[in-house]
Amino acid sequence: MPSPLDATHDPHLQSWVASANLPDTDFPIQNLPFGIFQRSRSQPRIGIAIGDYIVDLSVCIQNGVLTDLPEAIKVACMATHLNPLMGLGQRAITTLRHQLSHLLEVATPPPDQEILVPMAEVHMLLPAQIGNYTDFYASIHHATNVGQLFRPDHPLLPNYKHIPIAYHGRASSIVVSHTPIHRPQGQQRPAASGEFPSFRPSQRLDYEGEVGLLVGRGNALGEPIPIHQAEEHLFGLCLVNDWSARDIQAWEYQPLGPFLGKSFATSLSPWVIPMAALAPFRCSPLQRSVDDPEPLPYLTENNNLSGINLTIEVWLSSAQMSQENISPIRLSQASFAQLYWTAAQMITHHTSNGCNLQPGDLLASGTVSGPTSETWGSLLEITHQGTTPIQLPTGEQRSFLADGDEVILRGYCESPNYRKIGFGDCRGKILSR
């Protein structure tokens, strides 16, 4: 079940960190996301984003600023990645969140010790050691759009409305936001029947705007997670750009699915929004058509707030736009709440065969798209497989990504009577091969 509302969600709560009170910040005191930061060549540390600053949890623990925490939480806060903290479960995260909220609220005098680090002075790292990565296909709008490009008469395969579709991705090539993306090269379809395939740099490089689900407490091998307990195994959410080489993918994906067209890079935003911070933004899931089949019992939820009112935006800046100081343009704006399969259903189905999830495992939603062109989360959809290019302010056209293009994902949650919270950016710039 979703995390309950409590005092940390109070929209009137203010912080003694002045930048956290600005209306346009992603990181007000109601958010408090987790990340891993590094200063110069020092050891990576766990931090909490607050306004334009980061709370250094190591300093807090070493100097006794956070005193009433169980020893297991203190030890986990001293780690160089989030996995130990993730594995403690949501109750521990909520306990830590409450102490941090009290520490940072305006009514509490700032501690004598310097616990804040300016964001501008650090380098952000991947938030977790990601042992496994599973990419879902949970947006029925995206699945229908892509299906219509290749199977106009039958865009959805017969299993889609019965089972959350996914494939096991490559964890070693997951990179943090701002990491440059090398244009992949690979084998591509022959130009004509009877000819040999070619091996060259991809000319149909694409992005996919997705949401990442980071696993907290795992499950034992052979013990499925029931649907009513699924969200207890979630640590939090982040943004994911699952870069895709469409020409490489088109030649290789049958009969076993994605491989080298996907495994060259997947970008993650550095800040993980804990499930507790998302409590004010829970909403009803996508309303299924009356003609759709009911989910099988193991996937049936008795929760009318299994959706999350999270908006995902994709922005693009070309090298020429950057040189001419032209701001990035927004390509799409979609809602995570419009996915056909919920986070809980993805987790439950993933473990239904006894598969064991582990702290730090990444489950991605698949491209988040909506019903209209303004909500489509990939160039494959927006340009109709490259046949209708988009126009940039410089007069340039894009069917797929060019060298020097930078793709920026942004995410935020908003709801009446609550403080808007953000996810920060997930950025990647294309380098030539």
| 336 touches 310 (CB < 8 A) | yes
| CATH classification of the domain holding 58 | 2.30.30.230
Question: 210: which strand partners?
Answer: 240
Q: Which contiguous run of DSSP H or E holds residue 90?
A: helix 90-104
Q: What is the pLDDT of residue 3?
A: 82
The answer on 60 and 196 residing in a single domain is no
Long-range contacts, 59-63 (Cβ 8 Å, 24+):
59/113, 59/114, 59/115, 60/103, 60/115, 63/111, 63/113, 63/115
Residues in the chain, overall count = 433
The answer on 388 and 281 residing in a single domain is yes
Q: What is the pLDDT of residue 433?
A: 82
Rounded distance, CA 366 to CA 341, Å? 11
The answer on 174 and 66 residing in a single domain is no
Which residue ranges make up the annotated binding site for Ca(2+)?
Answer: 135, 208, 210, 242
Q: What is the pLDDT of residue 300?
A: 97
- Mean pLDDT of the region 67-91: 96
| pLDDT higher than 80, residue 194 | no
- Mean pLDDT of the region 312-335: 98
Rounded distance, CA 204 to CA 185, Å? 11
pLDDT in tens, 214-236: 999 999 999 999 999 999 999 99
The answer on 273 and 255 residing in a single domain is yes
The answer to the question of residue 304 being in a domain is yes
Higher pLDDT, 325 or 254: 325
The answer on 182 and 85 residing in a single domain is no
Question: 345: which strand partners?
Answer: none
| pLDDT higher than 80, residue 167 | yes
| 20 touches 27 (CB < 8 A) | yes
Final residue in a domain of this structure, among 125, 149, 165: 125
Which residue ranges make up the annotated binding site for substrate?
Answer: 137, 151, 249, 253, 367
| 408 touches 18 (CB < 8 A) | no
| pLDDT higher than 90, residue 193 | no
Q: How confident is the model at residue 2 (pLDDT cuts 50, 70, 90)?
A: confident
Q: How confident is the model at residue 136 (pLDDT cuts 50, 70, 90)?
A: very high
- The residue assigned the tokens 């698949």 is 366
The answer on 370 and 307 residing in a single domain is yes
Which residue ranges make up the annotated binding site?
Answer: 135, 137, 151, 208, 210, 242, 249, 253, 262, 266, 367
- The residue assigned the tokens 């200063």 is 39
DSSP E strands: which ranges in 90-153?
116-118, 123-125, 133-136
- The DSSP output letter for 409 is E
The answer on 13 and 139 residing in a single domain is no
Q: How confident is the model at residue 286 (pLDDT cuts 50, 70, 90)?
A: very high
- Mean pLDDT of the region 160-165: 98
| pLDDT higher than 90, residue 191 | no
| pLDDT higher than 90, residue 288 | yes
| pLDDT higher than 90, residue 347 | yes
What's phi and psi for 241, nearest 5 deg?
-115, 105
The answer to the question of residue 1 being in a domain is no
List the domain range (segments joined by +) for residue 287.
133-431
Q: What is the pLDDT of residue 31?
A: 98
Q: How confident is the model at residue 359 (pLDDT cuts 50, 70, 90)?
A: very high
- pTM of the predicted model over 0.95: yes
Determine which one of 142, 233, 349, 350 is catalytic.
Answer: 142
- Mean pLDDT of the region 396-407: 98
Q: What is the pLDDT of residue 304?
A: 87
Q: What is the pLDDT of residue 329?
A: 98
DSSP E strands: which ranges in 148-300?
166-168, 174-176, 181-182, 185-188, 198-201, 205-206, 209-215, 234-241, 244-245, 266-268, 273-274, 282-283
| pLDDT higher than 80, residue 1 | no
Which residue ranges make up the annotated binding site for Mg(2+)?
Answer: 242, 262, 266
The answer on 155 and 103 residing in a single domain is no
Final residue in a domain of this structure, among 106, 125, 144: 125
The answer to the question of residue 234 being in a domain is yes
The answer to the question of residue 54 being in a domain is yes
The answer to the question of residue 2 being in a domain is no
Final residue in a domain of this structure, among 96, 125, 154: 125
| CATH classification of the domain holding 244 | 3.90.850.10
Specify the number of domains making up the chain: 2
182 is catalytic: no
